């Protein structure tokens, strides 16, 4: 099974991706997706976007930049720049973001509300001579609809008209955000009908979730995980084991690695974030997921309350001294997104 790390804005930029690869991935993650770049007509990337795609910060070959736009013109200049200046040969389009400001502009999952526009967008992109000549690969990460899933088949029909590198499906509609049950029947339809290779994404948080998934969909060749791998990065060993069901974890070693991973992410973030506040805020975001695999959550409160860097570091030290990692059967994230 191929395993991809999902793009999570605010979490999976290079300051997390690189430590992830160093400490856990070591070749096990088949693709790392960047959080979305949002191009506009200025034809320039933001400093933050530049940093995240800069090859000096992305020594792994398997990093796929994600772009969110509904303008083929902007998509094409972005693809050209990513290819020419940074050497990226595969680009992912975001057709899933549920955020209000994005959807109101007809982007992300908002794109799924105007299928004629979407088809024209793909036509213009795929018939672009530069993209054709350089054989640049384009994949899509999609939801199954905007306000409902009634048009999922129509959406699939459009994707089927083009030669996508792959179609990554998060089987929810926009209003679900990241909660409510995933619609597995919609994914099943895609497995049957899609002429493009499909990748599953959504709510695989634990070994049990993964085993249930592969049991239901034995033909699926690739899955993308987001929150599950942030909460429990060592889950990657289970997913990639020859026999995931019987793979025995060394939870002490996993805790050592969690500590190292945390330390490396913090170091990377401190290199670019001035002031404690921003870096701490970003680290706390990680704990909002990682706390779910601790056997005792009470010391996380101190981590979340800390304001100054020294306070934060001490709180993490206390937390890691007092708690152990547990492999959970089931996780239910509280976060609305
Ligand atoms: C905090 C957060 C940020 C996200 N940012 C992005 C993003 O930049 N691009 C994207 O395609 N999806 C984004 N997503 C969606 C995830 O990539 C993924 O589809 C979602 O979390 C479901 O997968 P999971 O259940 O394995 O976490 C984000 C999700 C969360 C929770």
pLDDT tens, 20-33? 999 999 999 999 99
CA 116 to chain centre: 27
From the CA of 231, how far away is ligand 1's center (Å)?
A: 13
Point out the catalytic residue in the list 97, 146, 164, 325.
97
Is the model's pLDDT at 154 over the cut of 60? Answer: yes
Residue 170 labelled as part of a binding site: yes
10 lines ligand 1 (CB under 6 A): yes
Residue 226 is given by DSSP the state S
176 lines ligand 1 (CB under 6 A): no
227 lines ligand 1 (CB under 6 A): yes
Structure confidence at residue 334 as a pLDDT band (50, 70, 90) = low
- Which comes out higher in pLDDT, residue 84 or 334? 84
Q: Whose CA is nearest to atom 22 of ligand 1?
A: 202
Give me the pLDDT at residue 337, please.
Answer: 42
Please give the average per-residue pLDDT across 282-303, as a whole number. Answer: 96
| 249 burial type by CB count under 10 A (0-12 exposed, 13-18 middle, 19+ buried) | middle
Buried b (16+ CB within 10 A) or exposed e, 297-336: eebbeebeebeebeebbebbeebbeebebeebeebebeee
Q: Whose CA is nearest to atom 13 of ligand 1?
A: 8
Q: Whose CA is nearest to atom 15 of ligand 1?
A: 8
Please give the average per-residue pLDDT across 293-298, as a whole number. Answer: 93
233 lines ligand 1 (CB under 6 A): no
Q: What's the rounded Cα separation, in Å, for the pair 298 and 29?
A: 32
Structure confidence at residue 222 as a pLDDT band (50, 70, 90) = very high
Per-residue pLDDT tens over the stretch 101-148: 999 999 999 999 999 999 999 999 999 999 999 999 999 999 999 999
Q: 220 an active-site residue?
A: no
Q: What's the rounded Cα separation, in Å, for the pair 280 and 286?
A: 10
From the CA of 314, how far away is ligand 1's center (Å)?
A: 30
35 lines ligand 1 (CB under 6 A): yes
Return mean pLDDT, the chain: 96
Domain ranges across the chain: 2-239, 251-322
Q: What's the rounded Cα separation, in Å, for the pair 271 and 293?
A: 28
Please give the average per-residue pLDDT across 261-283, as a whole number. Answer: 94
| 155 φ, ψ (degrees, to nearest 5) | -65, -45
Is the model's pLDDT at 335 over the cut of 70? Answer: no
Instruction: Tell me which of 3, 7, 168 to substitute to probe ligand 1's pocket, judged by most ligand atoms within 8 Å of the beta carbon.
Output: 7
Q: If you write DSSP's letter for every residue of 157-216 in order, what string do you get?
A: HHHHTS--S-EEE---BGGGTT-S---HHHHHHHHHH-SS-EEEES---SHHHHHHHHHH
CA 69 to chain centre: 17
171 lines ligand 1 (CB under 6 A): no
Q: Whose CA is nearest to atom 14 of ligand 1?
A: 8
169 lines ligand 1 (CB under 6 A): no
Structure confidence at residue 152 as a pLDDT band (50, 70, 90) = very high
- Minimal CA–CA distance to 58: which of 5, 4, 17, 27? 17
- Minimal CA–CA distance to 167: which of 238, 113, 221, 100? 221
Give the helix/strand (H/E) hosting 225.
Answer: strand 222-225
Residue 226 labelled as part of a binding site: yes
Q: What's the rounded Cα separation, in Å, for the pair 139 and 118?
A: 14
Give me the pLDDT at residue 115, please.
Answer: 98
Classify 2-239 by CATH class. Answer: alpha beta
Q: Which atom of ligand 1 is nearest to the CA of 202?
A: 25
Instruction: Say what percent of the chain tops pLDDT 90.
Output: 96
Please give the average per-residue pLDDT across 180-188, as a whole number. Answer: 97
């Amino acid at each position: 099974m191929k395993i991809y790390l999902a793009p999570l804005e605010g979490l999976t930029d290079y300051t997390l991706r690189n430590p992830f690869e160093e400490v856990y991935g070591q070749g096990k993650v088949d693709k790392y997706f960047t959080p979305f770049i949002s191009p506009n007509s200025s034809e320039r990337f933001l400093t933050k976007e530049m940093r995240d795609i800069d090859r000096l910060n992305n020594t792994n070959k398997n990093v796929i930049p994600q772009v969110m736009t509904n303008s083929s013109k902007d998509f094409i200049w972005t693809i050209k720049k990513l290819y020419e200046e940074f050497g990226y040969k595969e680009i992912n389009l975001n057709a899933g973001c549920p955020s209000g400001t994005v959807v109101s502009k007809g982007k992300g999952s908002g794109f799924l509300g105007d299928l004629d526009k979407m088809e024209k967008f793909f036509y213009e992109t795929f018939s672009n001579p530069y993209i054709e000549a350089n054989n640049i690969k384009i994949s899509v990460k999609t939801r199954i609809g905007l306000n409902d899933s009634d048009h999922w088949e129509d959406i699939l029909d459009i994707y089927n008209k083009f030669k996508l590198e792959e179609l990554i499906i998060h089987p929810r509609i926009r209003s679900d955000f990241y909660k409510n049950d995933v619609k597995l029947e919609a994914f099943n339809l895609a497995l049957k009908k899609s002429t493009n290779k499909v990748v599953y994404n959504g709510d695989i948080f634990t070994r049990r979730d993964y085993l249930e998934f592969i049991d239901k969909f034995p033909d699926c060749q690739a899955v993308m995980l987001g929150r599950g791998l942030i909460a429990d990065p060592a889950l990657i060993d289970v997913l990639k084991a020859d026999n995931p069901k019987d793979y025995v974890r060394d939870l002490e070693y996993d805790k050592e690695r969690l500590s190292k991973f945390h330390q490396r992410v913090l170091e990377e973030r401190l290199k670019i974030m001035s002031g404690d506040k921003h870096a701490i805020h970003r680290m706390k975001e990680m704990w909002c997921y990682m706390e779910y695999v601790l056997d005792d959550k009470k010391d996380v409160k101190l981590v979340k309350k800390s304001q100054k860097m020294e306070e934060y570091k001490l709180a993490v030290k206390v937390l890691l001294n007092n708690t152990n990692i547990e492999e959970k059967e089931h996780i239910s994230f509280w976060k609305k997104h």
